[in-house]
Amino acid sequence: MHKSFKKDAKRRFADVVQDIIKMTSKEEIIMFIQSQALNLDPQFKDQNLIQQINDYELQMLQTPIIVGKDKGKPIISVIKLEQHYKGFKATLAKNLKLKRKMDKKSLDALFTIHLHDIAIIASGNKKLRKLMNIKGGIFG
């Protein structure tokens, strides 16, 4: 996990998304995503691949938890940032056929892009914000 996420590792993924929405405009998020894309290994520069990864992860995060104290809640509303990072890494390792092993810089960039992509989606999607149990924008 990138050092910039270490301080937020134990926070809910949804709370980190909410902070991004509150503190950053949609245009700034898009510019940040574009800058992160520069850190990707060439094998990950395909925008369709990144979109497929983000779509799959968002779908998985909306899946309800089957057992435990959070039974019935969507994963996205309870998962911690560090847990999601580990799951994201495992999903990529399992499902992507790579030309060469994924480097940490690319993994961190892909996760950062994924996080900010969800922030963009949630900023304009009240249903997703409700699912995440977060408020949107400065005034909610």
Q: SS3 for 44?
A: helix
Q: How far is the C-alpha of 84 from the C-alpha of 68, rounded, in Å?
A: 18
Token pair for residue 13? 């993924």
pLDDT of residue 136: 66
Q: SS3 for 11?
A: coil
Token pair for residue 44? 């990950």
Token pair for residue 83? 């847990």
99 contact partners, CB below 8 Å, separation of at least 6: 43
Domain range summary for the chain, segments of one domain joined by +: 9-132
Q: How does pLDDT run along the chain (140 residues), one tens digit per residue? A: 667 777 888 999 999 999 999 999 999 999 999 999 998 988 888 889 899 999 999 999 999 999 999 999 999 999 999 999 999 999 998 888 877 888 899 999 999 999 999 999 999 999 999 999 997 654 44
pLDDT of residue 1: 65
Alpha carbon dihedral 96, 98, 37, 86, in 10-degree steps, equals: 50
The position carrying tokens 């914000």 is 129
* pTM attached to this predicted model: 0.89
pLDDT of residue 132: 92
Measured from the Cβ of residue 36, the count of other Cβ atoms closer than 10 Å reads 18
pLDDT of residue 45: 83
